[in-house]
A and B are shown apart, each in its own frame.
Chain A
Amino acid sequence: MDLDPEELFRDDEDDLDNDLYQEREFTKEFVVYLVDASPKMFCPSGKSENEKNETLFHVAVSSILQSLKTQIINRSSDEVAICFFNTREKRNMQNLNGVFVFMVPEREYLDRPTARLIKDFSHFEETFLNEIGSQYGIISGSRENSLYNALWVAQALLRKGSSKNVDKRMLLFTNEDDPFGSIKGTAKADMMRTTLQRAKDARDLGISIELLPLSRTDEEFNISLFYADLIGLEGEDISQFISLAGEKLEDMTTQLRKRMFRKRKVRRITFSIANGLSIELNTYALLRPTLPGAITWLDSVTNLPLKSERSFICADTGALVQEPAKYFHPYKSENILLSMDELSEIKRVSTGHLRLLGFKPLSCLKDYHNLRPSTFVYPSDEEIVGSTCIFIALHTSMLRLRRFAVAFYVASAHPQLVALIAQEEITCSNGQVEPPGMHMIYLPYSDDIRHAEEVHMDVDATTPRATDDQIKMAVALLKRVDLKDFSVCQFANPGLQRHYAILQALALGEDEMPETKDETVPDEEGMSRPAIVNALEEFKVSVYGENHDQEEAETGKSLPTEASKKRKAITETAIQESSRYNWDDLADNGKLKDLTVVELKYYLAAQNLPVTGKKEVLISRILTHMGK
């Protein structure tokens, strides 16, 4: 049962009958990371003294490492190559100067990421300067053009796999906004022209070139000097290009992380507003639980994967049957037959994709109105011009009036009511934190909501409520234990981290199991600070009373729960009853079977053995226990 890793960040809906609506997406992605390794990238960055002496090269390399790790987990069928330019040594198929392609054994230049790749790459930087070396590849007087060569090499790498479903990309990391600045005259114009042409050809071949400019606040990366043309930006796009200049290196790393992955839409949908007015939206899965990958069954002798074969067998006759044509559901002691068509007709409760039903104030959306991770929607004018305009107008009104839209979402296997919440764009120094758009929240139906809090409703007594004083203590506690910079998803999933750390170790044949850090454990040290302990104690005394721990210890001993009392009583009677029989004798003479189940259970209960099962099971259990 092989799961497509791709599915992870899709909507977790089985879209059997909606396949038709799914836009064709690239199923694979080929990426070539092109990293500038010129001496300029190695300048120690420490502008302010408290910054570590990290280089921009290091930022680029560690971002790539990070994305490789994510990729091997989430999208391991994608292929990747890492390529440095402005290097002293060279290694590439074209044997071009100044370009070095990173390689590990048992793997082609452009290939799926492997455990070895990640491991070697994580140590690669240490030896880089000695073994591969850094030098400017474009200097006046020479006809070498390392950037041109790099593009050429990358393009050649991406020539592989011309199939229709591969998305090819180059990600270029550099801090040099004017690569031909050192050259003058016609040579410069010429080199620029050829390089741009090279890039244009690559783009024409369907390879997208993305630029990840690295720079400092003091030296702005001027995209219009050269790179705007290289990556094909025009007009307004240039001003929209988000510069990666960051105050701190960490900021830059976060920004790189955000841009490493190609934005993928889940699907394109129409949003019917009223009177046949429909606009076009794209949906994106920004949040989906990442789970440990699917299991592949192997033959334990050969360690080769097994092929699973599914067959349908008639339970009555044992005959092998083809795919079932009909399904049934038992009802009123007969079987009601339903065909596949009827089933999909039942689920087809409405037409279209998403239908507006109306608006409600945000206060109507309760915390428990949730079932699944939300889906993000963003407008598109690709097919219907004017969609974005309507979307922005509604978005603005909903924010202003503090309302959300209720809509019926049909385009899934579970047609469902959804809430559309307008989200304002939030940005901070390291870029966009929350994109502008709407979040689609899947609402439960009445039968999906349970009322567990009513189960233990106490009719007689009104339940105690906290007094103002107690609330005051709680408020004081809340103020003390405040997570000021808490941000959602700041923790790595410790289970998943461990899972993949083990896999990596095993894949590389390492003996020692790696230690992984669990970031989610509470800050015990912080919690034991005197101020917090004080607040906790005060709150405790106010709600539990002075001698709580003592009382608790006593009640723990003297007041067993009802169930345990009952259990105790049963054991006591059993011991009493059990003593009336001569068990050894009964067992030896094979007379146990003459006793009733109740009688047999006396023995079992008295000996603290399980009392479940049929009579024969009970007897054999008794005999085993007696050692007979």
Chain B
Amino acid sequence: MARNKEAVVLLLDVGPAMHNLLPDVEKLCSMLVQKKLIYNKSDEVGVVLFGTEDTENELMKEVGGYEHIVVLRNIKVVDGDIIESLQKLPRGTVFGDFLDAIVVGMDMLIKKYGPTNKGKQRLCLITNAQYPIKEPYEGTKEDQIDTISAEMKGHRMKLDCIIVRGKTTGVTNQRIIDENDLLLDRFSKKTLAKVVHVESPTSLLGALRTRNISPVTVFRGDLELSPLMKIKVWVYKKTSEEKFPTLKKYSDKAPPTDKFATHELKVDFEYKSLENPNKVVPPEQRIKGYRYGPQVVPISSAEWEAVKFKPEKSVKLLGFTNASNIMRHYYMKDVHVFIPEPGNSKAILAVSAMVRAMKEMNKVAILRCVWRNGQGSVVIGVLTPNVSSLDNIPDSFYFNVLPFAEDVREFQFPSFHNFPPSWRPNERQQEAADNLVRMLDLAPSSKEEALPPEFTPNPVLERFYQFLELKSKQPDANVPPLDGPLKRITELDPEILSQNKSVIADFCKQFELKENPKKKKSSRPLWREKPSASNEGEVVEADVSDIHSAKNSSTTKVEKNGDSTTVRDFVTMLVKNSPAMEVEKIGNSTPVQDFETMIARRDSSEWVNKAIRDMKNLIWDLLENSYQGDTYDKAMECLVALRRGCVLEQEPKEFNQFMHYLYKKCKKTDLISFWELVIFKHITLISKKEAIDSDVDDDEAEAFLVKSEADN
């Protein structure tokens, strides 16, 4: 017998009041079996139905009674058949007796295993417990439960009760419901039993742990408050994400006749040196390199082992602090639970005292943890109290990992009250929002909390396993759509929606959304939903073609920067994105850059001439169109660039002629102020020294400016 093999007997109420829930019960139970087929193939499952028309069980034959209970399947190793039968449960006709069903299930387990397999047997009851159980022949119902509990405890059987009471069908009797609840709760006091109540089909699907993972401690040892005072604790994971299963890669290479083919694709990594791509470097010749900036530092494992950070295994208290000091969003990872060492009453007391003191004072503890020896890092985290609600479970702590200084990016965001009034809600709008937040209530006091994480199944995994089962029967099946209860997880509940029509309508009316007119659209159609689902009209559909055309043609002529900051960001992005292309024209926005790029073009000698010509025209245009000197700076820069370019390309005459021309034009008009700038900037003619072709020497070049200054 496999060590972790578990035996489960499902006790399913199929009475008339359960009929509307049975489809979900079928799903839940087949999911349980499916996961066992994948992860715990040797587990065994039996199925008992109660509330049936017929009666078919051994106890009835042996001692009589136990009517309307059918053993659908004896305890057997899981297989595909059981899923089939679980997927079409018969609808019963009578109101069943859940206690009888428990006895039948227990009897099956005892007969099958006797004294063996202790602690690995489980009874799983799903009922609405709305109808009274039979009066016992002797003693009270309570006595009966105590007897059964004692028997179960003797065999270390576990009992999971899921009580489903949604929108109840038929007349319900509150007195009976209360009595049944009391009876079932009695189990949890007397034996290893857990009772959960669920209301919605969604919660029902999440009510049963479908995969059995035996918990493993992360740490066992001392929680050191100080070297003086230590508490023995065990640390387990409290949450751990159940991952999407890793699929194997399929290969169709094996011949169809090969019955033992694995059809697997193996991934193989080979390391090759860069200079000789044909040479494979064997593993022993490889060494690990760690990046440090552009450098890669080679270190062998042994070397690394010798120098690396090696903290000692320990869990130590740093101190306590106010709970409000640790904000919820700083929790970094999945959660651990610290429980006092089982059976150690001193530890249980010490933890209990601390938990209750922390709760009372609203404090939390900060710990430094090294779970294992040889772990290369420490963990800083926060311990929060968990006062146990059950008498037979000790108090415990939850532990969440906190970030280190390196893990935080302290970005600054504008305050909301700095926004212009139009961005802030007015009183009427605020009221509408208040109503929405109040009315779209998932945890109303009258009902169970909707979508509690404890009872919410993972829709993706549910769907995956359903699809797997479907495909095993119809290989060409399509992925089925999400069914009702799972849709409640991904979309607003239509019921809440219809109950709050007016609130939502008011909210939508109060706020107006529109497409940003100033914005030239982003580079991607953000608002477009995935093509497969256009069932909801999204607000804006961005027009992308605009931007693409704008981008392509904007190489040299992004005419004008926008007025607002947001637009500017966008334009700068555009500008930044463009100049990689060839420049064929000197534009107005980045003339110097365009000029330099163009003059550097070597695909034709014409470009230099064109660049100089264009630049001259541009400078003149700038000056002609200037208003109170507003373009002078730009013109000046162009002039400087032109001069630099002419020196570089050895075209001094072009520049010197232009200077003369400029001077002539300037001195007659009010552009003379520009010429003053030229003098101030000391922009001289290009001399022989700078370009051999020049016909002016240094002194002449200088003199030109001085003369022009004197002229004025």
Contacts and interface: CB of A to CB of B under 8 A. Distances in A.
Q: Which of B311, B329, B343, B566 has the most CB of A within 10 A?
A: B329
Range, interface on chain A: 35 or more
Interface in B475-521: 475, 479, 482, 486, 489-493, 496-497, 504-505, 507-508, 511-516, 519, 521
A626 interface: no
B458 interface: yes
Nearest to A315: B264
A123 B529 CA distance: 55
Contacts of B425: 389-390, 392-393, 396
B613 interface: no
B335 interface: yes
B267 interface: yes
A316 B295 contact: no
A338 B226 CA distance: 56
Interface stretch (B6-14, B125-133, B449-457): B449-457
A280 B513 CA distance: 10
Contact of B508 (A237, A275, A378, A492): A275
A507 B285 CA distance: 21
A371 B241 contact: yes
A289 B407 contact: yes
A401 to B, nearest CB: 5
A295 B597 CA distance: 41
B60 interface: no
A298 B287 CA distance: 5
B432 interface: yes
B536 A351 contact: yes
Contact of A268 (B267, B281, B526): B526
Contacts of A309: 269-272
Contact of A114 (B281, B295, B320, B536): B295
Given A114-B294, A349-B486, A496-B377, A483 B271 contact: no
Given A304-B275, A336-B472, A453-B396, A289 B403 contact: yes
A316 B259 CA distance: 11
Interface residues of B, number: 245
Q: Which of A72, A201, A316, A368 has the most CB of B within 10 A?
A: A368
Given A236-B420, A287-B332, A397-B434, A204 B572 contact: yes
B384 A367 contact: yes
A386 interface: yes
A506 interface: yes
Given A298-B286, A389-B423, A357 B442 contact: yes
A370 B330 CA distance: 10
B176 interface: no
Interface stretch (B66-74, B137-145, B410-418, B598-606): B410-418
A302 B273 contact: yes
A394 B425 CA distance: 9
Interface string A369-401: 111111010100111111111101111111011
B624 interface: no
B471 interface: yes
Interface in B365-379: 366, 368, 376-378
A473 interface: yes
Given A308-B271, A384-B516, A506-B297, A261 B526 contact: no
A212 to B, nearest CB: 12
Interface stretch (A39-47, A427-435, A616-624): A427-435
Q: Which of B240, B267, B353 has the most CB of A within 10 A?
A: B353
A414 B363 CA distance: 34
B239 A370 contact: yes
Given A371-B334, A401-B438, A533-B228, 7 more contacts: A164-B580, A286-B408, A297-B289, A308-B270, A314-B265, A384-B527, A450-B240
Contacts of A303: 287, 289, 298
Interface stretch (B88-96, B631-639, B685-693, B694-702): B631-639
Contacts of A111: 294
Interface stretch (B17-25, B354-362, B647-655, B664-672): B354-362
Given A306-B274, A324-B250, A456-B339, A425 B415 contact: yes
B409 A286 contact: yes
Nearest to B375: A495
Contacts of B136: none
A386 B426 CA distance: 12
A28 interface: no
A289 B332 contact: yes
30 contacts: A143-B680, A190-B680, A197-B637, A307-B274, A315-B251, A321-B253, A328-B263, A343-B247, A360-B441, A367-B331, A374-B329, A384-B516, A384-B527, A385-B515, A389-B429, A389-B511, A392-B424, A397-B433, A415-B460, A435-B411, A444-B334, A448-B458, A452-B237, A453-B393, A457-B392, A465-B349, A474-B358, A478-B354, A492-B404, A548-B346
Q: Which of B290, B366, B467 has the most CB of A within 10 A?
A: B290
Contacts of B592: 201
Contacts of B353: 466, 470-471, 473-474, 539, 542-543
B398 interface: yes
A290 to B, nearest CB: 4
A250 interface: no
A465 B38 CA distance: 42
B405 interface: yes
B273 A299 contact: yes
B366 A347 contact: no
Given A368-B398, A520-B378, A276 B538 contact: yes
